[in-house]
């Protein structure tokens, strides 16, 4: 692999670094060879920027992947490319409405592509068949096939008994439970929170209790079982406050980047491509989530990357499928929302040490001789967030390069 030189980069690490000032980093054959000031080492690729920063590569806790046979929507290679463009070298794959991760064969299919394109895939198997909350899947077989954890997309009040059993099963597997706090009706055709906006537009809205009521049941269940779980995709300030006020509950949570960056005022109901999950809520809620992140109540930020076939968006709003391609813009959205409220190192932790701790992983120290698993970015450079919708907006924070062993993504302006 050709040598890569990062010039005058500031290391943003989860632990104090002896070379935490501005330094050069030379990478060759996927290994960090030298770290020092004004390295004379010749390199095939020189990466520079006015505010160059380097950190451990990012980890995403919620990426939805399509099913085999729909490669026109997203191939494994294309998904890995999107992840690298966003600074991610590890992503947790959730199932979608067609591909639930019920069977060992499905886990084998996904594991066969893990790491092939520079991105490690942690596959989360479905706790119950088709996430229906009625019949537990064969956990042992899924674990043996390579599932990294188990997830449940919807949480209805009638599923508490099954989830209680699932929590006890984690003792046998040491597996992490990833639980979505929403009723299945949140993904129905009327996906938009019930606010004056939905009323004025004549769109049937959903009440916020479809997220908070299942969460209340989960908190009670976790307390009763004396267990913990990771609560994924929370979009309401009220949900975060419920976790903060839950005595004796030690659970982690993530929030979608779009919930920090956009609110319902950004939605154009004339464009069904703007329909996303979870729904966007008020600006007051968005500001509240930002403050919750600043006080450390949010453990990680997730992309909620959900590819959708174009024809499933080219219909009226109520019939459109919810989802957007967000992996490449997740950091830019998050950094723009939080940069005036949190130090850069703590923002980066929401993508590195935060999700790593949830998965039970140890982050490598950025040092000479270590494998290169790095995200290179400029927090002050302007970008345009697109997420494949008309919700385009300027943001701050550009991913300049992502280096994963012998796989490297370079932004267009860095290619020589």
Dump pLDDT digits (tens) for 255-314.
999 999 999 988 877 788 888 889 999 999 999 999 999 999 999 999 999 888 888 888
Q: Of 24-28, 61-65, 171-175, where does mean pLDDT reach its minimum? A: 171-175
User: Given pLDDT bands bounded at 50, 70 and 90, which one contains residue 4?
Assistant: very high
Which tens digits make up the pLDDT trace of 152-203? Answer: 887 766 788 888 888 888 877 778 899 988 877 676 666 788 888 887 877 7
Domain boundaries, the chain: 4-53+366-380+395-414, 57-359
Q: What pLDDT does 15 receive?
A: 62
Average pLDDT, whole number, for the chain?
88
Q: Which residues pair with 398 in a beta bridge?
A: 378
Q: In angstroms, rounded to a whole number, what is the distance separating the alpha carbons of residues 325 and 322? A: 11
Residue 16 has pLDDT above 60, yes or no: no
Burial pattern 238-270, b for ≥16 Cβ within 10 A else e, equals bbbebbeebeebebbbbbbbbbbbbbbebbebe
Which tens digits make up the pLDDT trace of 117-126? Answer: 999 999 999 9
Q: Are 145 and 175 in contact (CB under 8 A)?
A: no
pTM of the model: 0.94
Averaged pLDDT, 352-365 = 94
Residue 354 has pLDDT above 60, yes or no: yes
Any residues with CB less than 8 A from the CB of 394 and at least 6 apart, and which? 382, 383, 384, 385
> Of the CATH numbers 3.90.45.10, 2.30.110.10, 3.20.20.30, 2.30.40.10, which one belongs to the domain with range 4-53+366-380+395-414?
2.30.40.10
User: Given pLDDT bands bounded at 50, 70 and 90, which one contains residue 388?
Assistant: low
CATH architecture of structural domain 57-359: Alpha-Beta Barrel (3.20)
Q: In angstroms, rounded to a whole number, what is the distance separating the alpha carbons of residues 6 and 46? A: 6
User: Given pLDDT bands bounded at 50, 70 and 90, which one contains residue 363?
Assistant: very high
């Amino acid at each position: 692999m050709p040598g890569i030189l990062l010039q005058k980069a500031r290391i943003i690490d989860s632990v104090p670094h002896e070379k935490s000032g501005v330094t050069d980093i030379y990478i060759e054959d996927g290994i960090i060879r030298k770290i020092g000031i004004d390295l004379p080492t010749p390199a095939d690729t020189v990466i520079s920027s006015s505010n160059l920063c380097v950190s451990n590569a990012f980890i995403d806790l919620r990426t939805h992947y399509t099913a085999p046979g729909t490669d026109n929507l997203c191939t494994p290679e294309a998904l890995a490319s999107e992840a690298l463009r966003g600074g991610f070298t590890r992503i947790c794959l959730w199932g979608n409405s067609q591909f639930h991760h019920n069977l060992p064969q499905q886990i084998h299919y996904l594991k066969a592509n893990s790491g092939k394109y520079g991105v490690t895939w942690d596959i989360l198997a479905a706790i119950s068949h088709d996430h229906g909350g009625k019949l537990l899947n064969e956990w042992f077989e899924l674990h043996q096939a390579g599932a990294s954890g188990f997830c449940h997309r919807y949480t209805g009040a009638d599923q508490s008994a099954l989830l209680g059993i699932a929590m006890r099963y984690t003792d046998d597997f040491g597996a992490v439970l990833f639980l979505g706090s929403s009723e299945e009706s949140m993904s129905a055709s009327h996906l938009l929170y019930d606010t004056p906006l939905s009323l004025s537009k004549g769109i049937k809205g959903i009440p916020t209790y479809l997220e908070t009521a299942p969460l209340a049941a989960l908190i009670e269940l976790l307390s009763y079982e004396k267990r913990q779980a990771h609560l994924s995709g929370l979009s309401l300030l009220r949900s975060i406050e419920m976790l903060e006020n839950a005595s004796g509950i030690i659970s982690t949570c993530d929030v979608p980047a779009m919930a920090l960056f956009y609110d319902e005022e950004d939605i154009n109901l004339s464009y069904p491509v703007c329909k996303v999950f979870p729904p966007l809520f008020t600006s007051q809620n968005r500001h509240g989530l930002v403050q919750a992140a600043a006080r450390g109540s949010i453990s990680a930020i997730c992309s909620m990357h959900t590819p959708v076939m174009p024809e499933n968006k080219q219909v009226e709003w109520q019939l459109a499928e919810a989802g957007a391609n967000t992996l490449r813009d997740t950091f830019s959205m998050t950094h723009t929302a939080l940069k005036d409220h949190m130090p850069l190192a703590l923002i980066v932790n929401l993508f590195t040490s935060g999700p790593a701790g949830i998965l039970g992983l140890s982050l490598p120290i950025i040092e000479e001789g270590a494998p290169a698993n790095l995200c290179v970015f400029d927090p002050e450079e302007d970008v345009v967030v697109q997420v494949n919708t008309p919700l385009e907006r300027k943001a701050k924070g550009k991913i300049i390069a992502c280096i994963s062993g012998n796989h490297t993504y370079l932004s267009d302006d860095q290619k020589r």
